[in-house]
Chains A and B, each alone.
Chain A
Amino acid sequence: MNYGLLTTEILTAVLGLIVLIAGLLLPERGKKAVGFLAVLGLTVILANVILNFGHEAVFFNGVYQIDIYGNFFKVLFLCAALLVFFMASRYTEFFGQRKSEWFSFMIFATLGMMVMASAGDLITLYVGLELMTISFYILSAYLLNDGLSAEAGIKYLIMGALSSAVLLFGMSLIYAASGSTVFTEIYRTLSAAGNIQPVLVAGIVMMIAGLGFKISAVPFHMWTPDIYQGAPTPVTAYLAVASKAAGFAALVRILLVALPLSLFNWSLALAVLAALTIVIGNLIALAQKNVKRLLAYSSIAQAGYILVGLVAANSYGLKGVLFYAMLYVFSNVGAFAVTTMVEVETGSTELEAFNGLGQRAPMLAAVMTVCLLSLAGIPPLAGFAGKFYLFSGAIQAGYLWLAFVGLLMSMISVYYYLIVAKAMYIGISQKEGPILVPLTARLALWVCLAGTLFIGLYPGPLSRITEMAIGLFL
């Protein structure tokens, strides 16, 4: 066991604590440095992950696994966190004194996700998940004076706790069926047993429900719009991309390592869930007038697309899951970044707030348009390549109908993305003059734009990395 490979997690924990303490110790004027510290720290950690990308190790009899799959998600979480930090530079002013703690909670949430991605055992998974979730309870309610934010916090708390209970109950049933909590052990015992016990089925279903909550799959998605709308926008961005990715990271590993299809065919059930998620997410999004809420429904639909890859559970499908999760970071953070700028400028995230953005800030409008269309899956943007993988996987696995549903709905989804574009380009804004975009935020926007375009135009590199990452399942 090479404990050196745990540096990433350890460093992240340390960074979180340092940032927390620095916030307390530093004088009021020096608190600006906290954000800088957080960014610097995360960059170092990111560099560390990338440098050790190919190294694999199993800790404590499989309880914790460092592998490319996990590293891939760690890079994803770190990128997302960095982008969110950059783009939130102006927004953090709203947090006032509690700004420095915000960074630390974000880092702890990241740590939780990392643990989820690498967890090889139910207990570890649970701990990581709760670390992330509890951090997000706090982050969602961070603007305590804002009624919406507080409401988002309490709703997330209750729903989150509830879903944890369901998840745990499911875990306990799996434990009952297999007598173990380590994924590889579970598989070994169950495959030796041969027959399928109803207890196991109930356990799988409840666990899918618990994790399905995190990825906001229908019908466990109900919290998503409210929390996304109420939470501070950068938090929403992080919640949307990273928390969802972490949920998928865990779900894929559990389902494929501990409970593979050879054991029990969960794929049809997931396919139905995926289809429902895609359809309902997109349909309700059509009727939205608030951009954050619209993006929330859109993210439900996106979860449906990613699920398609898991349903397929073959090379293309799984690659698609990872691929899509990664591009989703760039596209969705880009969209939320623009939303953040608009919110800071106008104090609103209603559709009207975006009116005339094409004139006032062409850059913001362009990034928003590109990112939204990437989410819609329009070539040559990243989303198309991702969907191509996902639906190739689905068709290869025989889910032709799912590909039909998914692609049709993704074309319908263009409607609501274009409604935003329409507001930006032909809406008439109340105010005139350009919108100030700080340098850091500008950087985030450029990265999102470049990432979305690059992945779309040249998917080769990312596809090779995902290919390595899914090696462990095939």
Chain B
Amino acid sequence: MIGLNHYLLLATILFGIGVYGVFSKRNAVAILMSIELMLNAVNINFVAINKFIQPSNTIGQLFAIFVIVVAAAEVSVGLALIISIYRHKKSVNLSDFNLMKW
């Protein structure tokens, strides 16, 4: 039977994939997507924990909804930023953004 550990494992794997994406991708949008993966891993965590450990209330699910909302806001601001930068730099490649270093 599928239990809490399976969900947690899934979430962890998902989180890992997100982290991998953050490191391996160069495109800012792709990286944002990877981060979304990580956030979703967290959501799975919350919902699963709520279901298996604390079924009496819905705090975990609530939290997940908050996360989804905030992530949406974050992504919208992020995308807006990326677009506006693309207009100036003609690039969304993160390795091009290194005017400031050291």
Chain A interfacial positions (CB closer than 8 Å to B): 122-123, 126-127, 130, 134, 137-138, 141, 144-145, 147-148, 150-155, 157-158, 161-162, 164-165, 168-169, 171-173, 175-176, 179-181, 225-226, 229-230, 287, 293
Q: Are B15 and A169 in contact (CB under 8 A)?
A: yes
| A171-B101 Cα distance, complex, nearest whole Å | 32
Assess whether A172 is in contact with B46, with CB atoms less than 8 Å apart. yes
Contact of B81 among A154, A179, A225 (CB under 8 A): A154
Minimum CB–CB distance for B25 against chain A, Å: 11
Q: Given A123-B62, A141-B81, A145-B88, are A158 and B15 neighbors across the interface (CB < 8 Å)?
A: no
Cβ of A62 to closest chain B Cβ, rounded Å: 13
Of A130, A151, A230, which one neighbours B70 at CB under 8 angstroms? A130
Tell me the B74-102 residues at the A interface (CB within 8 Å).
74, 77-78, 81-82, 84-85, 88-89, 94, 97-102
**Whole-angstrom CA separation of A77 from B97 in the bound complex:** 31
Are B60 and A150 in contact, with the CB atoms below 8 A? no
With A154-B82, A169-B15, A181-B59 as given contacts, are A123 and B38 in contact (CB-CB < 8 Å)?
no
- Tell me the bound Cα distance from A158 to B94 in angstroms: 10
Q: A172 — which chain B residues lie within 8 A by C-beta?
A: 11, 42, 45-46, 49, 63
Q: A151-B99, A175-B45 are in contact. List 19 more A-B contacts (CB 8 A).
A: A126-B66, A138-B81, A148-B100, A150-B88, A151-B85, A151-B100, A152-B100, A154-B97, A157-B32, A162-B35, A165-B39, A169-B15, A172-B11, A172-B42, A176-B53, A179-B49, A181-B59, A230-B100, A287-B102
User: Would you mind naming 8 contact pairs between A and B with Cβ atoms under 8 Å apart?
Assistant: A123-B59, A138-B77, A162-B22, A164-B70, A169-B38, A173-B45, A176-B45, A225-B100
The answer to whether B45 touches A181 (Cβ under 8 A) is no
Best-buried of A130, A153, A168, A175 by chain B (most CB within 10 Å): A168
Is B13 positioned at the interface, with any CB of A under 8 Å from its CB?
A: no
Q: How far is the CB of B51 from chain A (nearest CB, A)?
A: 12
For A290, give the chain B residue with the smallest CB separation.
Answer: B100
Kindly list chain A residues whose C-beta atoms are within 8 Å of the C-beta of B41: 169
**Residues of B bordering A, CB below 8 Å:** 8, 11, 15, 18, 22, 28, 31-32, 35, 38-39, 41-42, 45-46, 49, 53-54, 59-60, 62-63, 66-67, 70, 73-74, 77-78, 81-82, 84-85, 88-89, 94, 97-102
Instruction: Please give the distance in Å from B50's CB to the nearest CB on chain A.
Output: 8
CA distance A144 to B86 in the complex (A): 11
Residues of A within 8 A of B89 (CB): 147, 150
Are the CB atoms of B85 and A176 closer together than 8 Å?
no
Q: How far is the CA of A179 from the CA of B63 in the complex (A)?
A: 13
Across the interface, which residues of B come within 8 angstroms of A162, CB to CB? Answer: 22, 35, 38
Given contacts A172-B42, A172-B46, contact A130 B101 (CB under 8 A): no
In the bound assembly, the distance between CA atoms of A172 and B7 in angstroms comes to 13
| A172 to B49 alpha-carbon distance, docked (Å) | 8
Shortest Cβ distance from A419 into chain B, in angstroms?
17
Nearest-neighbor residue (CB-CB) of B82 within chain A: A154
- A155 CA / B35 CA spacing, docked (Å): 14
> A226–B45 contact, CB under 8 A?
no
Q: How far is the CA of A179 from the CA of B58 in the complex (A)?
A: 11
CA gap between A151 and B86 in the complex, in Å: 11
The interface residues of chain A lying within 8 Å CB-to-CB of B53 are: 176, 179
- Select one of A134, A144, A161 contacting B32, CB under 8 A: A161
Complex Cα–Cα for A180 and B22 (A): 30
Q: Which residues of A contact B88 (CB under 8 A)?
A: 144-145, 147, 150
State the CA gap A467–B53 with chains docked (Å). Answer: 39
Q: Are A168 and B42 in contact (CB under 8 A)?
A: yes
Given contacts A158-B31, A175-B46, A181-B63, contact A127 B70 (CB under 8 A): yes
A126 to B38, CA, bound (A): 16
Give the Cβ gap from A190 to chain B, nearest Cβ, in Å: 13
Known A137-B81, A157-B77; judge A151-B97 contact (CB<8 A): yes
Given the interface pairs A154-B97, A158-B32, the reply to whether A180 lies near B45 with Cβ below 8 Å is: no
In the bound complex, what is the Cα–Cα distance between A158 and B98 (angstroms)? 14
Inter-chain CA distance A367–B97, complex, in Å, is 34
Set of chain B residues within 8 Å of A225, measured between Cβ atoms:
100
The residue in B28, B39, B74 that gathers the most chain A C-beta atoms within 10 A of its C-beta is: B74
The residues of B that contact A134 with a CB separation of less than 8 Å are 70, 73-74, 77
Across the interface, name the chain B residue whose C-beta is closest to A287: B102
A155 pairs with B49, CB closer than 8 A? no
What is the distance, in angstroms, from B29's C-beta to the closest C-beta of chain A? Answer: 11
Report the bound CA distance from A181 to B97 in whole Å. 38
A293 to B74, CA, bound (A): 26
Q: In the bound complex, how far is the Cα of B6 from the Cα of A249, in angstroms?
A: 36
B101 near A175: Cβ-Cβ < 8 Å: no
User: Which of chain B's residues have a CB closer than 8 A to the CB of A151?
Assistant: 85, 97-100
Q: Which residues of A contact B28 (CB under 8 A)?
A: 154, 158
Measured CA separation A137–B18 after assembly (Å) = 21
Q: Is the CB of B45 within 8 A of A169?
A: yes
Q: Is the CB of A153 within 8 A of B67?
A: no
